[in-house]
Amino acid sequence: MLTINELSKTIGTYLQPEQVNKVQLAYQFSAEAHEGQKRVSGEPYIHHPLEVAYILGDMRMDYQTLVAAILHDVIEDTPTVKTEIRKKFGKGIAELVDGVSKLDKVKFESFEEAQANNFQKMLMAMSTDIRVILVKLADRLHNMRTLEALKSGKRLRIAKETLEIYAPIALRLGINSIRLELEELGFATLYPLRYRILDEQINKARGHRKEIISKIRTALKRRMRQEKIPGQIFGREKHLHGIYKKMRDQNLSFSDVYDVYAFRIIVDDVDTCYRTVGTVHNLYKPVPGKFKDYVAIPKTNGYQSLHTALFGPYGVPIEIQIRTKEMNDVAEVGIAAHWLYKTGNTSKNINLVNKDRSGAQQRAREWLRNIVEMNKTAGNPEEFFENVKIDLFPDEVYIFTPKGKIMELPNGSTAVDFAYAIHTDIGNTCVGARVNRKLVPLGTQLTNGQTVEIIAANSGRPNPAWLSFVVTVKARSQIRHFLKNLQQSEAVALGKRLLNRELEPFSLTYQDISEVDMEYLLNKNKNENENELFKDIGLGNKMAPLIARQLVVLKKLASKKNQKNSVNNTTPLSIKGTEGMVVKFPKCCYPIPGDPIHGFVTSGRGIVIHCQTCKNLAEYQKQQEKWINVEWEPYNEGEYEVKIHLNVNNQRGVLATVAAAIADTDANINSVEMKERDGRHTSLRFIIEVKNRVHLAKVIRKIRLIKSVSQIDRN
């Protein structure tokens, strides 16, 4: 079992004696706090935080991180409070410990809600001090190493969470040494049978591979020696989870994946990296399209390396990574490489922060800024949790702006994602895009090397349909944020109109409400301000007639005649079609201007407009208080969906003929369904956009002129 003396010996190789003493002091404090506590496995609890600190010590983390690792469970699992840690160890360490601690004092309705809230708390603490997540990753790694003591259900839940959240976070921060072990342990726990079968297959094939690997390494060394290129060559063993993931994602057999021989070459500098690529390409023929330059264009997590694939001897495929020693350090511990070099330690192992490490740090900070922005725009912790999970799996594509700047985006990104990556205002106002100087739809997926130009207009605004194809979290969260604010402003405007309409019989408007009377209404209806009251009226959460009656009674203007609760006593509300998301037109009857209509106030959705002939109105007969008298605005310029049904004779090109006829009337076709009734007739259902009943009549007259159409009707 690990002891504090062994930890002290390890960290003493790079920390000052007084810093090691502080780590030992933290151990004594934590051991006393956890006195008598045991883990599920039966060992003393203090063994766990000591192991977590040892993992971070192997990564050569600063003493504050090690102290926080030893203390990371004292707030959560002992009576110790944050102020006590702050007093004894300082504010910085107290904040680190608090950031790792769960919200165990708060009661949640479900495990999912608790998980989302704890995850949100951890990432927000991480945005202030990234060492929070380093402690959490080390904590999770030791927990994964000791999972066997837990019950099966809990083991599976923790393993799944590790593969979905913590391993991707380690990858995002470039900490491959932890990420690979988390993936292996998670895979072994979640899919034990698959893990065992793959492990057995690898052990069987390993003997034959050693001979081939030795021959390839010897050939590479000989050629590099001839070219006078100093460097180290290592054979890379593929990890089980990586093999499994590649087999699953690319539908490959085990031999297709495992028969690839992988090597890593470590050289002195960047120039030598590129010289080495030429050398190995002269030794073995390169596979076309497989060279990747992550030195010139680093990955999001700061990873830098040159990758190439070769046709090796005996026809075996070879994968080679070429990088400098500094690049290799960043590839192994990522953002963690920054902390030791930041402390100003004078140990012989310490150098200045180089470009590779500062690049990893900068990219991590950029990601954390995105995390903070996600948190601001997310509606709740659960939405934030899902957004971050999506953001943790980026296979990058590299896109150029018209000025030649390179933008990194997740695979599958569209022109809208690109617009939001440039700036939120560009995304909110984009109306079109040019890819390699050609106009394309905004939903077009982008590929490596394309040059994209966004066309923006002051009148442009996000479309809810964009949410169906954007892939970046920034785009999704900003679109939702804009639409949410838009709906609220539209609800406020509609609420004012509805209240004015109810006050009209009393010769009042909402502007006539004094500050004292408004304060009375706000208190009575439990609203913080008048805009919130109007928003609730517009969304249907509060009824305008009731609010109006409260005010009228307060003003003592009510009479027997005025107190009658009759919707028809008020002027109909004019529907313009420009009210936005607070006035909805359902698909049960597709109302259009010119149709006799009824309005129905629905809580949280605003006003739903139905045709007076709609069959669904019968369901609302018992809720007369929610009916609202509405009429169409005389001059309505919007376009509205309507469904038409046709019976046609089966003839070649009949669908194209009908579609052309609809287009001739300036109506847009949104969708079409075909259903064969018998061998001679087919049923067609179109959803088209028209301006009003007159426009629809024009469409129907045009279609009736087609000989193949035997019947046409609406809905």
Please, are residues 449 and 398 in contact by the beta-carbon 8 Å criterion? yes
From the candidates 58, 76, 129, 504, which is the catalytic residue?
Answer: 76
Long-range (24+ apart) CB contacts under 8 A made by 186-189 are 186/144, 186/159, 186/160, 186/162, 186/241, 187/163, 187/240, 187/241, 187/244, 188/240, 189/144, 189/147, 189/155, 189/156, 189/158, 189/159
Whole-number CA gyration radius for the chain? 33
Residues 6+ apart with CB under 8 A from 671: 686, 687
Alpha-carbon span 102 to 115, nearest angstrom: 9
**Catalytic residue check, 536:** no
Please, are residues 10 and 60 in contact by the beta-carbon 8 Å criterion? no
Alpha-carbon span 129 to 132, nearest angstrom: 6
From the candidates 58, 77, 373, 504, which is the catalytic residue?
Answer: 77
Which of 582, 509, 495, 506 is closest to 543 using CA atoms? 495
CA 56 from centroid of its chain's CA atoms: 29
SS3 content of the chain, % helix, strand, coil (to 5): 55, 15, 30
Alpha-carbon span 330 to 59, nearest angstrom: 11
Which of 157, 173, 76, 77 is closest to 112 using CA atoms? 157
Helix or strand holding residue 232 (H, E): strand 232-236
Alpha-carbon span 515 to 428, nearest angstrom: 36
Which of 44, 42, 36, 40 is closest to 4 using CA atoms? 44
Which of 696, 710, 707 is closest to 644 using CA atoms? 696
Q: Which amino acid is at 292?
A: K
Structure-block tokens of residue 316: 């075996």
Alpha-carbon span 307 to 314, nearest angstrom: 21
Give exposure, 482-513, as e/b (b: 16+ Cβ within 10 Å): bbeebbbebbbbbbbbbbbbbbeebebebeeb
Strands 261-267 and 232-236: antiparallel
Integer CA distances (angstroms), 335 to 112, 130, 164, 183, in order: 29, 9, 20, 19
CA 511 from centroid of its chain's CA atoms: 43
Q: Which amino acid is at 488?
A: Q
Alpha-carbon span 55 to 120, nearest angstrom: 24
The values of phi and psi at residue 233, to 5°, are -120, 130
Q: Within a 13 Å sphere around the CA of 612, how many CA atoms are in the beta-carbon half?
A: 10
Which of 487, 294, 496, 321 is closest to 395 using CA atoms? 294
Dihedral of CA 485/491/493/499: which sign? negative
Strands (E), 413-516: 430-435, 438-440, 452-456
CA 678 from centroid of its chain's CA atoms: 48
**Catalytic residue check, 517:** no
Q: Which residues form the catalytic set?
A: 76-77
